Each structure stands twice: as structure tokens, then as C-alpha cells.
């Protein structure tokens, strides 16, 4: 079933980590070793602005933000008839390891982030002479690709990433305020259809960047994206980031969504978002959804993610659904949820259900998942059944 095929990918996302980035100051144009690059010259080695991330293969300059970030980005875009990149740094929400691959995150060294590679893949190599910063000093790099007089892509990267600009011009912006950055990024979410563009759309990049800002304006922006009058795709994506990155403020918003969002599809996604939250109250809200949500689809999804997150604490809720939920499909999803628990917790419960449950469809489901478990206790149970 769909849940089985996607759990590995989604749990990798649940382990997502936040990223680090660098700072910038001054209005300078530097090539490796501090030698200014001439007009139109591409440094084939490493171009480096003061306090910027490590940048390779770029025609690099720095520029102070003028009256506003919005005006500066629009001014850069207005003159960008061919591709170029612009970037800046802001404080980032706490997190541990991170890596740049489009707008996805994983544990480990970032290596080189090749901004112009079509599939967004990175080559993993530990950057030389770069020291990871302490927890309280972490930064986020926000990157804009400009072409044909408009912004065409937004990405984020960590300070430990080496950015390869593919020989294009790269403008490093200084003096950026976090609240202005959030407002600028939020403008790119208007009219964006997440269902059409998925992880590669400009709106997804903007949303990811907003979610990783440490500034409180990011919480306000995300709250505005989950109001019932917003598109469902945006509400689902914003809910994920509330669970993955926004701590207590994100949990409070998810609790509201779980009770009030009119879409069962969105509420089902809220159950997943709660499963990636590290806040203590997330588990209680998932249990409430599994018991009380009016939609059998939502109850089933809450049970599934409970099994992934909670282990023993989820057993009572899952077995309760098997016994008491009025919908057979929810009962079957609860049986599958048991199969996702550690074997010493799930297998005995599956055997008990296969022996004693009054619903034949539920018993059949339990026997199926016992057969998939490769557990010696399951084999003993089948031998007993077949010899009776």
C-alpha cells in the first residue's frame, strides 16, 4: 500500500536537519588570494567575499542592500538578462547537520553544492579549512537565481557547503535584515501551485527558506500560509515545516490545524507533521486525532505515524482502534501500524489479533503482516493453526 512504499522516504525527511551559513560585510570584489577580478573575468579556482560562504567558479562581487532587500533584488533582476546568482545570510533555527540538495536536508557533510547542475545533486566532499560553528552561531544562506529579468529559482545552503556557481556572476549581499528576507520570500508564494511544481518550484524554495529563518516573522508568515482560505498544497507544505523546524510555535499551529482545518487531506498531513516534531505535546495530539477525528482517513494516518514515532506509547491507541473504531479500513490500517512497531511489541499483538479478533478481515490482515515479519514466533503460530 502507499504508506508502506513511502515510509522510508518520509522518515528520512523526519530526520531532517537544519543548516549552517556564513556572514558578509563590506562592498568588495575579491578573487582567490585577495586579487580583484577584472570585469567579466571568471576565476577558475575559488572566489571569496569577506565572511561569505566558500564560493567557487564565480564572477564574484559584494553589494550592500540599499533602501530595502525588495528593491535590491528587483534591481538585480531588472538587469539580469542572462543567468546569475545572488545570496545573503540570516540567522537560522537551531539544528545539527545539514546538506544542500535542492531544498532537501540530510545528515552529513554538505560538500560542493553545484548551483547550475540540473538535477540539483551534490558531490560530497569535506570542504577544506572550514570549521563548523557552534549551536548558537548557525546561519542560513539564501540563494536567488536570476535570469531573463526575473527570479527563476530560490535555494538554501549551509555555511559548510562550497557553492559552485558554474562560472556565472554571483552577487553577495550584505546588511540583510531577517524580517525583510521573510517578507521578500513570502511574496514568491502568491499564486504558486505546489502540486504542479513539487520540490523544484520557486515557491517550495521560498517556503523552505522562510521555515529555516530564526526570526519570529517566519512563524507569522507560516501561520498566514495555513489559514483555511489558502491553497491546500501550501497548507500541507507549511504544516510539514512547522513540525520539522518551528518548535513550540509550530506545534501550537499544528494543534489548531488538527482541530479546525476543513480538509481531511490536510489534517492527514498534519498527523505526519506532528510525527516529525520534537515537541512533547505532538504525540498527545496524534493520539487525539487517532481517537477523535471525524475522517477515517485521518484516523488511519494518525495511527500509522504513531507507530513510526511512539513505539510502546502508541500500542494502546492502536489496539484500541482495532477493537473500537467503527470503520474496517481504519482497523486494517491499525493492524498495519502494529506491524511497524519493534518486533517484541508488534508481533505478540498481531498474534493475539489473528487468534481472537471477531472481524475476519482484521484477522486476515494480522496474519498477512505476521507472514511478512519473518519472526520465529509467527512461524510457530502458523504451525499451530495448520496442525489444529
CB 101 within 8 A of CB 121: yes
Q: How far apart are CA 350 and CA 336, in angstroms?
A: 9
Q: pLDDT at position 110, please?
A: 66
Q: pLDDT at position 200, please?
A: 58
Cα-based distances in Å from 274 to 73, 195, 280: 35, 21, 10
pTM across the whole model: 0.75
Q: pLDDT at position 215, please?
A: 96
Q: pLDDT at position 27, please?
A: 29
Sign of CA dihedral 177, 178, 182, 183: negative
pLDDT in tens, the chain (388 residues): 444 444 444 443 334 333 223 323 332 333 333 333 333 333 444 455 667 888 999 999 999 998 899 999 999 999 999 999 999 999 999 865 354 644 444 444 567 888 997 544 433 333 333 444 545 568 899 999 999 999 999 999 987 788 999 999 999 999 999 999 999 999 999 766 655 555 457 999 999 999 999 999 999 999 999 999 999 999 999 999 999 999 999 999 999 999 999 999 999 999 999 999 999 899 999 999 999 999 999 999 999 898 888 766 788 899 999 999 999 999 999 999 988 888 788 899 999 999 999 999 999 999 999 888 888 898 888 888 777 7
Q: pLDDT at position 111, please?
A: 76
One DSSP character per residue, 67-117 reads S-HHHHHHHHHHT-SS-EEEEEEEEB---S----BTTB--SS---EEETT-
Cβ neighbours for 94, distance < 8 A, ≥ 6 positions apart: 18, 135, 138, 214
Q: How far apart are CA 318 and CA 376, in angstroms?
A: 23
CA 335 to chain centroid, in Å, comes to 28
Eight-class DSSP state of 166 = T
Q: pLDDT at position 386, please?
A: 76
Q: How far apart are CA 194 and CA 269, in angstroms?
A: 14
Long-range contacts of range 30-37, CB-CB < 8 Å, 24 or more positions apart? 30/60, 31/60
Q: pLDDT at position 22, please?
A: 32
Query: Checking DSSP bridges between strand 162-164 and strand 112-114, what pairing results, if any?
Result: parallel
Q: pLDDT at position 294, please?
A: 96
**Residue found under cell 546569475:** 84
Classify residue 327 as exposed, middle or buried by CB count within 10 Å of its CB (0-12, 13-18, 19+): middle
Eight-class DSSP state of 315 = H
Phi and psi, residue 204, nearest 5°: -65, -40
Q: How far apart are CA 222 and CA 241, in angstroms?
A: 9
Q: pLDDT at position 102, please?
A: 47
The three grid cell numbers given for residue 102, joined into one nine-digit string: 535542492
Amino acid at each position: 500500500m502507499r504508506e508502506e512504499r513511502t515510509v522510508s522516504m518520509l522518515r528520512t525527511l523526519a530526520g531532517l536537519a537544519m543548516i549552517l551559513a556564513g556572514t558578509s560585510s563590506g562592498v568588495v570584489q575579491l578573487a582567490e588570494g585577495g586579487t580583484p577580478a577584472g570585469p567579466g573575468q571568471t576565476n577558475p579556482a575559488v572566489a571569496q567575499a569577506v565572511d561569505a560562504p566558500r564560493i567557487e567558479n564565480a564572477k564574484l562581487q559584494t553589494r550592500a542592500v540599499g533602501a530595502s532587500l525588495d528593491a535590491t533584488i528587483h534591481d538585480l533582476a531588472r538587469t539580469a538578462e542572462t543567468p546569475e546568482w545572488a545570496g545573503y545570510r540570516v540567522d537560522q533555527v537551531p539544528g545539527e547537520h545539514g546538506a544542500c540538495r535542492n531544498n532537501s536536508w540530510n545528515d552529513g557533510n554538505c560538500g560542493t553544492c553545484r548551483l547550475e547542475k540540473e538535477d540539483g545533486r551534490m558531490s560530497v566532499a569535506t570542504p577544506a579549512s572550514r570549521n563548523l560553528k557552534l549551536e548558537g552561531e548557525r546561519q542560513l544562506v539564501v540563494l536567488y537565481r536570476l535570469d531573463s529579468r526575473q527570479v527563476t529559482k530560490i535555494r538554501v545552503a549551509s555555511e559548510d557547503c562550497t557553492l559552485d556557481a558554474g562560472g556565472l556572476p554571483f552577487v553577495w549581499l550584505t546588511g540583510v535584515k531577517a524580517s525583510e528576507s521573510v517578507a521578500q520570500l513570502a511574496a514568491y508564494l502568491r499564486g504558486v501551485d505546489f502540486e504542479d511544481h513539487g520540490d523544484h518550484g520557486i515557491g517550495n524554495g521560498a517556503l523552505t527558506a522562510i521555515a529555516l529563518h530564526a526570526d519570529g516573522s517566519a512563524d507569522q508568515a507560516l501561520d498566514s500560509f495555513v489559514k483555511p482560505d489558502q491553497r491546500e498544497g501550501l497548507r500541507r507544505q507549511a504544516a510539514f515545516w512547522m513540525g520539522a523546524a518551528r518548535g513550540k510555535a509550530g506545534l501550537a499551529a499544528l494543534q489548531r490545524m488538527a482541530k479546525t482545518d476543513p480538509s481531511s487531506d490536510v489534517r492527514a498531513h498534519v498527523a505526519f507533521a506532528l510525527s516529525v516534531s520534537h515537541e512533547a505535546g505532538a504525540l498527545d495530539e496524534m493520539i487525539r486525532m487517532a481517537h477523535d477525528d471525524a475522517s477515517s482517513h485521518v484516523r488511519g494516518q494518525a495511527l500509522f505515524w504513531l507507530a513510526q514515532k511512539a513505539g510502546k506509547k502508541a500500542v494502546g491507541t492502536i489496539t484500541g482502534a482495532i477493537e473500537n473504531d467503527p470503520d474496517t479500513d481504519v482497523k486494517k490500517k491499525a493492524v498495519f501500524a502494529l506491524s511497524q512497531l519493534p518486533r517484541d511489541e508488534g508481533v505478540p499483538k498481531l498474534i493475539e489479533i489473528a487468534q481472537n479478533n471477531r472481524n475476519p478481515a482484521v484477522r486476515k490482515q494480522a496474519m498477512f503482516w505476521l507472514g511478512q515479519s519473518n519472526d520465529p514466533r509467527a512461524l510457530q503460530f502458523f504451525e499451530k493453526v495448520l496442525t489444529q
